[in-house]
């Protein structure tokens, strides 16, 4: 399949089963005797891949879809099997999920919550998807997770970094493998203090939605605890493409650090504008001016090019990791697509395998059986080392990577270097931590 194919919505299975006399509520139900939404037949099971194919996070969405296709190929016995051979669980054997061939449908979230919900609803009601996954925006993830909770569908979150996803907006039917804002702050702050000192004044530019808010809060609290001062924090629209008017005031603010709480194309544009305004060469308060990008990705680094050199950030996973799972995934992805995967691709691939594994271990597609199989599940072999899916909030806990832009990259993909692998103990927090307070996981909803 060529990459251009991902720009079109594809339906590989249409229709869902409903008994002739059954009155359908908001969501299309499977036959009454099954007891849960969209119970599959004996030969096929349909998954829904809901990603940004347009909008500021479209590059991330394209890589997510590549990884989803690869995961389906491996689950159905194609290719080299990828991480199926390194996964600590050995129940996936390339015969689909519980003997059913895996099919999938796709949708475009447009990085908009309303569009994402509409797309997910269509996949559930019209296409019979039994699990929804994807997204490259926390606003989208929170909205779709709530929809899946209402519908009785499992939501395996894709790239969502806001604390809210497994904090105040947590749901029993939702699970997140990606790390979060708190973890970025906890991992980054000691590295920043060691490299830049504790007497720093920070100016934050923050994407105006829930991910930006929680990332700003996490980085501020972690750096201020080590002596930094926050002189200003300014919100920027998610639709912004030119950040010049936001960068100009930074020069006269008294700050000597600019924190860009931006992601995807927003980060590429804001960093480019900051470099154009001379911040990389500037001095303030007798110190070199520094720029920080709390959440990095290979795709963002590629978009920003040489502007990322020396700039610190954090990431969930990186293709240069040398554990057996990461090497297997990079090999599979690289063979299929001709370049290494991003952290977005890694997350969505792993989430697909984890769902299939949970169904298989539970011997059931019932969402509540899947929830039980995933809660407090410990596994290894999928990158980042040993990982726990905590039952209290459905958040994964694993090591976090602190990275910075390479000064002398060898090629267009070799733009980030890992400077520290932060142990999971340093980024672990209580489920009722103030940055995650107010959420109620509730109970699993099977839908029917």
Tokens of 343: 């952290």
The DSSP bridge partners found for residue 175 are 156
Tokens of 422: 């932060």
pLDDT of residue 35: 87
* The residue to which tokens 């997204």 are assigned: 135
pLDDT digits (tens, 9 = 90+) for 396-420: 999 999 999 999 998 888 899 999 9
**Per-residue CA distances from 117 to 120, 124, 136, 139 (Å):** 5, 10, 14, 11
Low-confidence ranges of the chain (pLDDT < 70): 1-34
Model-level pTM? 0.90
* Max CA pair span of the chain: 77
pLDDT of residue 34: 59
pLDDT of residue 448: 75
Q: Are 398 and 387 in contact, with CB atoms under 8 Å apart?
A: yes
The DSSP bridge partners found for residue 98 are none
pLDDT of residue 431: 94
Q: Which residues contact 397 (CB under 8 A, 6 or more apart)?
A: 387, 388, 390, 424, 427, 428
pLDDT of residue 10: 31
Q: List for the chain the helix, strand, coil content (%; round to 5).
A: 40, 20, 40
Question: In this prediction, what percent of the chain has a pLDDT beyond 70?
Answer: 92
pLDDT of residue 25: 37
pLDDT of residue 300: 85
CATH class of the domain whose range is 182-315: alpha beta
Domains 44-179+319-393 and 182-315 share a fold: yes
- The structural domains of the chain, with segments of one domain joined by +, span 44-179+319-393, 182-315
pLDDT of residue 302: 87
Q: Are 232 and 258 in contact, with CB atoms under 8 Å apart?
A: no
3-state SS track over 44-78: EEEEEEEECCCCCCHHHHHHHHHHHHHHHHHHCCC
Query: What is the arrangement of strands in the sheet containing 44-51, beginning at the earlier edge strand?
Result: 101-108, 44-51, 131-134, 154-157, 174-176
Phi, psi at 334, each rounded to 5°: -65, -40
pLDDT of residue 115: 93
CATH superfamily of domain region 44-179+319-393: Response regulator (3.40.50.2300)
Which of helix, strand or coil describes residue 283?
A: strand
């Amino acid at each position: 399949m060529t990459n251009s194919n991902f720009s079109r919505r594809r339906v590989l299975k249409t229709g869902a089963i409903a008994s002739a006399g059954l009155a359908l509520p908001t969501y299309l139900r499977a036959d009454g005797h099954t007891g849960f939404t969209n119970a599959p037949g004996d030969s096929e099971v349909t998954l829904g891949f809901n990603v940004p194919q347009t909008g500021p996070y479209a590059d991330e969405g394209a890589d997510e879809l590549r990884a989803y296709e690869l995961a389906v190929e491996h689950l159905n016995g194609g290719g080299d099997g990828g991480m199926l051979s390194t996964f600590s669980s050995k129940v996936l054997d390339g015969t689909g999920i519980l003997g059913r061939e895996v099919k999938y449908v796709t949708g475009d979230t447009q990085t908009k919550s309303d569009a994402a919900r509409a797309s997910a609803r269509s996949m559930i009601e019209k296409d019979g998807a039994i699990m929804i996954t994807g997204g490259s925006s926390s606003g989208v993830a929170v909205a779709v997770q709530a929809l899946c909770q209402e519908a009785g569908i499992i939501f395996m979150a894709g790239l969502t970094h806001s604390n809210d996803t497994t904090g105040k907006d947590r749901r029993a039917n939702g699970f997140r493998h990606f790390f979060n804002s708190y973890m970025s702050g906890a991992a980054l702050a000691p590295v920043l203090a060691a490299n830049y000192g504790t007497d720093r004044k920070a100016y934050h530019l923050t994407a105006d939605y829930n991910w930006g808010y929680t990332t700003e809060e996490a980085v501020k609290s972690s750096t201020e605890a080590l002596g930094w001062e926050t002189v200003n924090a300014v919100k920027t629209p998610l639709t912004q493409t030119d950040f010049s008017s936001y960068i100009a005031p930074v020069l006269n603010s008294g700050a000597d650090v600019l924190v860009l709480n931006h992601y995807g194309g927003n980060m590429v544009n804001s960093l480019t504008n900051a470099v154009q305004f001379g911040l990389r060469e500037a001095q303030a308060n007798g110190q070199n001016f520094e720029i920080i990008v709390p959440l990095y990705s290979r795709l963002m680094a590629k978009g920003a090019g040489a502007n990322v050199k020396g700039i610190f950030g954090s990431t969930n996973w990186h293709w240069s990791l040398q554990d057996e799972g990461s090497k297997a995934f990079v090999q599979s992805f690289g063979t299929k697509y001709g370049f290494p995967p991003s952290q977005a691709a890694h997350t969505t691939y792993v989430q697909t395998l984890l769902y299939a594994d949970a169904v298989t271990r539970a011997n059931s597609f019932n969402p509540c059986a899947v929830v039980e199989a995933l809660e407090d599940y410990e596994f290894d072999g999928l990158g980042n080392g040993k990982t726990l899916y905590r039952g209290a909030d459905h958040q994964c806990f694993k090591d976090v990577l602190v990275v910075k832009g390479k000064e002398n990259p060898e090629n267009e993909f070799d733009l980030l270097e890992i400077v520290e692998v932060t142990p999971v103990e340093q980024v672990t927090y209580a489920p009722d931590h103030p940055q995650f307070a107010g959420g109620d996981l509730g109970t699993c909803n099977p839908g029917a």
